[in-house]
Structure 1
Amino acid sequence: MAKKAPALTGVSYVMPVLNEVEHIEAAVDSLTAQDYEGPFEIVLALGPSIDGTNAIIDEMARLDSRIRHIPNELGSTPGGLNAAIRASTHPIIVRVDAHSVLPTNYTRIAVETLERTGADNVGGIMKAEGRTPFERAVAHAYGSPEGLGGTQHHTGGKEGPAETAYLGVFQRDRLTEVGLFDEDIKRGQDWELNRRLRATGGTVWFTPKLQVVYRPRSSLRKLIRQFVATGIWRGELARRFGTANSLRYFVPPIAVLGIVAGLLLGIIGSATSATWLSLAYIAPATYTLFVIVASSITAAKEGLRSGVWYLVVLPCIHFGWGTGFILGFLTLTKNITAQTGR
């Protein structure tokens, strides 16, 4: 008589949701379509959305008992994640973003990798894909060296231990052991959690076999808001943890300071006939040329309209992130982090 195959480990998908009417159905549908044959549940932590998101989720939960929703009383990303984790039941936690679309093999590969490596957290590649010329320009910036630096979880690389991981598939017991996500950190909470996992002897594992489609922000206003907030919290984390942060995080703020200083000194030089100060224009001029060249390359790959958008998108990302970092590092954001925290 053939032996019965061991039961597959149950997984809990957890997702904080706020004003995601454009993306929520695709994100949840990608979870119910997974080819992983083990038991699963989907726990959505709902903030006070005003765009009809919660009504869509109500209907999805009515039609599928595996989908549950709970209130996110804090309203923040880490607060929602922790609430969903506490309300979930299975040994493996799969963090999901409302802007993400998981491929059908995502959970199966992630669970196999967790069991094979003994890691505490497994993550892969955030594959940004845009649908409009603007979104394609933003998506290109996510995966390019001149945009977000061409890091491992944007472009891929060799499988193995990593500093952090995109989204994350976690062993529940280790999440509980280190205290879940820090609810005082509104962005960058994944990096900080992975720091604690590694500091307590755990392993964060990257595998390029995991690729998640990510939908970029759909407007310039939303993009700027996103990167200013991200920069603020990265600056805060850099101030708190110092050299534990990768040096690449300091490149945008240094570049912003250099470009602004060059522009101001150049103006002073032109106004006072101090020719030597006018040499400071080299910094902003070099950056402008850099953006033009990068946009030309983007136009060849993504189309002319996306290339034109890149002329705006790239500086907005650099200056939004860099300026936010400086403000966060200098702790000048106490009154605005509540507004930009998500």
Structure 2
Amino acid sequence: MTTVSFVMPVRNEEEYIRASLQSLVDQSYPSDECEIIVVDGRSSDRTREIIEEIRDRNPRVRSLDNPAGIVPTAMNIGIRAARGEVIIRADGHNVYPRDYATNCVRYLEETGADNVGGPWVTVAADESLSARLVATALTSSFGVGNSKFRTSREEGFVDTVPFGAFRKEIFDHVGMYNEKLVRNQDNELNARIRKAGGRIYLTPALTTHYHPVRNLLGLLKYAFKTSKWHIFTLRENRESMGLRHMAPAMFLILLLLLLPVSLVSATALVFLIGILCAYILTGFYFSLSAKTEGNWDVALVQPFATFCFHIAYGAGTLFGLRYLFRQPSVTPIRPGLPIRKKAK
């Protein structure tokens, strides 16, 4: 039977780590064929204490130290220590269904893909308006564009999936995680897989529940940092980013150009007002069409929250442009990655 290694990088995740790690311990996959490696980035909260508590009751759980404290380094530490033939990238913010490992192995075999993953169901951290606005912003196609793992429940080959499950041998072909990338390392790795001739498969059978930040300030910080690192990732691998990642920056540039001109030009002022009205109306259309019972407050405020999200995202992109002028690192890719056939 195929052996499996979950690798979970964590740092200061005391709020979610117990539920996340327990969902891996409770997997239906045969326990003697499945290990769980938690790589802690020297947490300063109770994360390590909780990990050790669960580890002491479950011999399948191993904990490793990550002095660098960042995700790609943690993943590389875990992958090198892993005994499994399949590496499943786990996350301390996610809760996994019991058949997750089983389905990862199944879809790797049935589709012939080199990486399989599923969509996120983004769960509000609590019932506050702020937390629900965050969750809605990260699942609306108006908020995040055509990010299929956030907005779609369709199945098929895609450009990227969040995290994912890989055959361990894939890293011999495309290299390990890029340790220069504090964020977006999954996108960049998937771009290398595609460049090597590999394929990536998204299926709702691998759906997980993800807990984002709980307030709008946290969302804006997330947007700024993520988009800033998108530019760094673009410098490292130009195939890892799409046009949708640049759209908020182009929107912000347009506003910044129109604002001063509108002070002296009535035409520019009308154009600016028209753009903002069109944006808000489009936001209302998406928020009202996605409304669920009891969430009218979210539907009415969402366009303004999404506007702030896009502005923060665009600002991060512009701030990150300086990375484009630095020399990129080069991760060697071994050509000729075998294209696997679907299992009969």
Length-normalised TM-score, structure 1: 0.86
Distance 1:330 1:289 in 2: 34
State whether structure 2 residue 251 is matched by structure 1 residue 255: yes
- Structure 1 139/67 Cα, relative in aligned 2: closer, same or farther at 3 Å? same
Cα deviation, 1:131-187, whole Å, max 9, x if unaligned, reads: 323222222222211111142212335433221112100100112332210001111
Distance 2:325 2:220 in 1: 16
1:55-94 aligned at under 5 Å gives the runs 55-94=49-88
The answer to whether the 8 A contact 2:123-2:210 is kept is yes
Q: Which residue of 2 aligns with 1:128?
A: 122
| TM-aligned CA deviation for residue 265 of structure 1 | 2.4
Q: Which residue of 2 aligns with 1:277?
A: 268
- Structure 1 163/109 Cα, relative in aligned 2: closer, same or farther at 3 Å? same
State whether structure 2 residue 92 is matched by structure 1 residue 98: yes
How many corresponding residue pairs?
Answer: 322
The answer to whether the 8 A contact 2:25-2:58 is kept is no
175, 194, 201: which is aligned to 1:198? 194
The answer to whether the 8 A contact 2:72-2:181 is kept is yes
Q: Which residue of 1 aligns with 2:166?
A: 170
The answer to whether the 8 A contact 1:163-1:204 is kept is yes
Amino acid paired to 2:139 = G
Q: Which residue of 2 aligns with 1:151?
A: 147
Distance 1:69 1:232 in 2: 31
Q: Which residue of 1 aligns with 2:16?
A: 23
| TM-aligned CA deviation for residue 297 of structure 1 | 4.9
The answer to whether the 8 A contact 1:327-1:333 is kept is no
Q: Which residue of 2 aligns with 1:313?
A: 305
The answer to whether the 8 A contact 1:15-1:45 is kept is yes
Distance 2:297 2:93 in 1: 23
Amino acid paired to 1:56 = I
Amino acid paired to 1:152 = K
Distance 1:221 1:175 in 2: 37
Distance 2:292 2:191 in 1: 39
Give the fraction of aligned pairs with identical amino acids, expressed as a percent. 31
- Structure 1 47/308 Cα, relative in aligned 2: closer, same or farther at 3 Å? farther
Q: Which residue of 2 aligns with 1:231?
A: 227
The answer to whether the 8 A contact 1:258-1:283 is kept is no
Secondary structure of the 1:19 match is coil
Cα deviation, 1:97-149, whole Å, max 9, x if unaligned, reads: 11111111211111011112222111111111113232222222222111111
State whether structure 2 residue 325 is matched by structure 1 residue 329: no
| TM-aligned CA deviation for residue 228 of structure 1 | 0.9
Q: Which residue of 1 aligns with 2:335?
A: none
State whether structure 2 residue 200 is matched by structure 1 residue 207: no
| Unpaired segments ≥5 residues, structure 2 | 327-344
- CA RMSD between the two structures: 2.3
Distance 1:306 1:242 in 2: 36
State whether structure 2 residue 108 is matched by structure 1 residue 114: yes
- Structure 1 298/316 Cα, relative in aligned 2: closer, same or farther at 3 Å? farther
The answer to whether the 8 A contact 1:101-1:213 is kept is yes
216, 237, 240: which is aligned to 1:220? 216
Q: Which residue of 2 aligns with 1:338?
A: none
Amino acid paired to 1:164 = T
Distance 2:156 2:76 in 1: 27
Q: Which residue of 1 aligns with 2:339?
A: none
State whether structure 2 residue 10 is matched by structure 1 residue 10: no
Cα deviation, 1:249-300, whole Å, max 9, x if unaligned, reads: 221111111223333322x22xxxx323322423334334444555555665
Amino acid paired to 1:276 = T
Distance 1:292 1:259 in 2: 20
Q: Which residue of 2 aligns with 1:337?
A: none
